[in-house]
Amino acid sequence: MQDKIIIKGARVHNLKDVSLELPKNKLIVFSGVSGSGKSSLAFDTIFAEGQRRYIESLSPYARQFLGQMDRPDVDEITGLSPAIAIDQKALSHNPRSIVGTLTEIYDYLRVLYARLGEVYCPKCDRKIQKLALDEMIDIINKKAHELKEEYVVILAPVIKHRKGEYYQMFYDFLNLGFSQTRVDGKIKSLHERLTLSRYQPHNIDIVMDKVLLKDQSRLYEAVENALHYSKGLVTALFKEEKESEEILLSALWTCPHDNFSFPEIEPRLFSFNSPMGACPTCHGLGKEDIFLKNICPDCLGKRLKPEALSIRIGQKNIWEVTNLTIEKAYEFFIEYESKLDSRSKTIAFSVLKEIINRLGFLLEVGLDYLTLGREAETLSGGEAQRIRLASQIGSKLSGTLYVLDEPTIGLHERDTAKLIKTLKALKEQNNTVIVVEHDEKTILTSDYLVDIGPGAGRHGGEIVAIGSLDDLMSDKKKFNNSLTLKYLKGEKEIKIPEHRRHKYTEKIKIIGARANNLKNVDVEIPLRKFICVTGVSGSGKSSLLYDVLYKNLTRIKSRINKPLEDAS
């Protein structure tokens, strides 16, 4: 009983009092002609009852938000596990939903950028380092050792390229006990009256101390004072007389060269759904007008503020990474991980593991051509289903019942093999996988076959073949009503037409098609013929037929003669 799902007396839609037993932790295919009752049994009976029972196990408080589910018309089902359906329905039409958010990869990316991102100034593109006091001391000592210097002058940068006379400020620092300042690159005494041009921008540093590097406690004190008076900056000056060298260090996310200040770097900064990270012009949509699809003039479709786009890992910001294909992104993170030092690997270990694993799952289901930034509303039903499938594999649930609706629809044979491998991986995690499917390769790979028929509608709703595929294929007498088995055994076949139409017809000419990944394609399509457009998933078939041909024909029929930008 624990190893089986037992269904007795299922009568949903056209099912005719169906009873059967299904083995657990197997890949099970429900086959049969369209309309025979496959989905009625898989989704409307087995999945619906599994979901209903799970919801009933929740507290009354939780159930009030989920609504009451009707019990399917079935006498009894035993051995059910919590059920998850992965069907062909389209994903969200929310323009904020992208492949990265659907798979949760983007959430992990935000954490990775917040913890290990290298910060660059949006104005001058210089790298900004937020350093602790000990790190600053180490950098100063290392620089002194390279230059073979015994002394260092510690300065506090208090004015950066700002106009003014600053007489009162000089007087205040003199009263605090400081005796020297550097004004526009020249060291001067605070005991003198310093007259500055009021309308010229100035750079002013207060000399904290000239320190013998052997006296580390005094160096610590001087650097601490500089950070205090400059609010987070310190300059270390070597060889002050001739050929001087200096380094500018920061304890803040502030550019020491032009004072551009960053907010605290946290995952929210990289979210286009948060006011903290979203471009203020388009509010994170990437488009100034979402209905006319006009690209935002400020972020240029990147959705984020300049601060977020100025933080990089592996020399790429988060927008550039989400615009890599899944395949290129996978290669990028494998290489990035290999170059990390031990400290960074410790920080990023769990996050990088999730990102790489989830990208790997998307590769396994044949979605290598998509980008993480692809909007959900532009995905086909098959792509959406495979994304959900990859997400489920990533969740690593065990003891669950998965029900899938024709996952091979729209797939090239190359990608079907990848999908089957993924379904097997899901099963190997001790899950029961039920697939409603017509595809021959998937049927032949299954552990158990349930064929429903013999016909459609009122002529269907019965089990016409059931059992392991090896047994069904070797039995020549049993289950004679199964059309599926007859085609699998070669008793029936779809013959290739002996004659084809060769008569010349007019043609539709498409010149310079550039939608999505189409590369300036020219093509002629003959009229009044059965035309087939083929190619691997993501090659551009739908882009050519829907985004170019259909949309432009619609505009022409509507008397809008100007073609879309995707074709000329």
15 and 61 in a common domain: yes
In a domain, 391, yes or no: no
How do 401-405 and 432-436 pair as beta strands? parallel
409 and 438 in a common domain: yes
SS3 sequence, 402-453?
EEEECCCCCCCHHHHHHHHHHHHHHHHCCCEEEEECCCHHHHHHCCEEEEEE
Can you say whether the dihedral through the CA atoms of 114, 115, 116, 121 is positive or negative?
positive
515 and 421 in a common domain: no
Of 250, 275, 296, the domain-final residue: 250
pLDDT of residue 564: 59
Q: What is the mean pLDDT of the chain?
A: 88
Q: Which residue do the tokens 């029929």 mark?
A: 557
Cross-sheet strand order for the sheet of 127-128: 127-128, 118-120, 311-313, 316-317
Give buried/exposed letters for 228-249 (b at 16+ CB in 10 A, else e): ebbebbbbbbbebeeeeebbeb
CATH classification of the domain holding 169: 3.30.190.20
Which contiguous run of DSSP H or E holds residue 141? helix 133-147
Strand, coil or helix: what is 79?
coil
Which contiguous run of DSSP H or E holds residue 186? strand 186-189
Those residues with Cβ within 8 angstroms of residue 447's Cβ, 6 or more apart along the chain or in another chain? 23, 26, 27, 28, 427, 468, 469
Please report, as a single letter, which amino acid is at residue 266. E
- Written as six digits, the tokens of 349 are 């270990």
In a domain, 356, yes or no: yes
139 and 81 in a common domain: no
- Written as six digits, the tokens of 18 are 């169906």
Of 364, 395, 413, the domain-final residue: 364
Rounded to whole angstroms, the Cα distance separating 90 from 94 reads 12
| C-beta of residue 388 within 8 angstroms of C-beta of residue 440 | no
Number of H helices, E strands in the chain: 19, 23
What single string gives the DSSP state of each residue in 270-321? G-TTSTTTB-TTTTTSSEEETTTTEEPTTTTT--B-HHHHTEEETTEEHHHH
pLDDT tens digit at each of 568 positions of the chain: 478 999 999 999 999 999 999 999 999 999 999 999 999 999 999 999 998 988 888 888 888 887 777 899 999 999 998 899 887 765 667 888 899 998 899 999 999 999 999 988 888 888 887 778 988 899 899 999 998 899 999 999 999 888 889 999 999 999 999 999 999 988 999 998 888 888 888 999 999 999 999 999 999 999 999 999 998 889 999 986 667 888 888 887 777 677 676 767 889 899 999 888 999 999 898 888 766 668 899 999 999 999 899 999 999 999 999 999 999 999 999 999 999 988 889 999 999 999 999 999 898 888 888 899 998 888 877 788 788 888 877 777 889 999 998 888 877 887 788 888 888 988 998 999 999 999 999 999 999 999 999 999 999 999 999 999 888 988 877 788 899 999 998 888 888 888 887 778 899 999 999 887 889 999 999 998 889 998 887 788 888 998 899 988 888 887 766 665 555 5
CATH classification of the domain holding 266: 1.20.1580.10
pLDDT of residue 327: 93
In a domain, 456, yes or no: yes
Which residues does residue 250 pair with via DSSP β-bridges, in sequence order? 130, 233
In a domain, 291, yes or no: yes
Please report, as a single letter, which amino acid is at residue 339. K
520 and 482 in a common domain: no
- Written as six digits, the tokens of 494 are 């779809």
523 and 553 in a common domain: yes
Domain count, the chain: 4
In a domain, 493, yes or no: no
183 and 221 in a common domain: yes
543 and 514 in a common domain: yes
In a domain, 378, yes or no: no
Q: Quick one: which of 290, 266, 289, 288 has its CA closest to 277? A: 266
What are the distances in angstroms from CA 63 to CA 52, 175, 406? 11, 71, 31
What are the distances in angstroms from CA 41 to CA 12, 183, 343, 376, 450? 7, 83, 53, 29, 10
216 and 147 in a common domain: yes
CATH classification of the domain holding 67: 3.40.50.300
Rounded to whole angstroms, the Cα distance separating 257 from 271 reads 28
234 and 176 in a common domain: yes
106 and 38 in a common domain: no
The parent domain of residue 49 ranges over 4-86+403-488
pLDDT of residue 314: 92
In a domain, 385, yes or no: no
What are the distances in angstroms from CA 156 to CA 134, 250, 562? 17, 11, 63
Of 364, 395, 429, the domain-final residue: 364
pLDDT of residue 42: 95
In a domain, 199, yes or no: yes
pLDDT of residue 421: 87
pLDDT of residue 353: 93
**Count of C-beta atoms within a 10 Å radius of residue 553:** 11
536 and 436 in a common domain: no
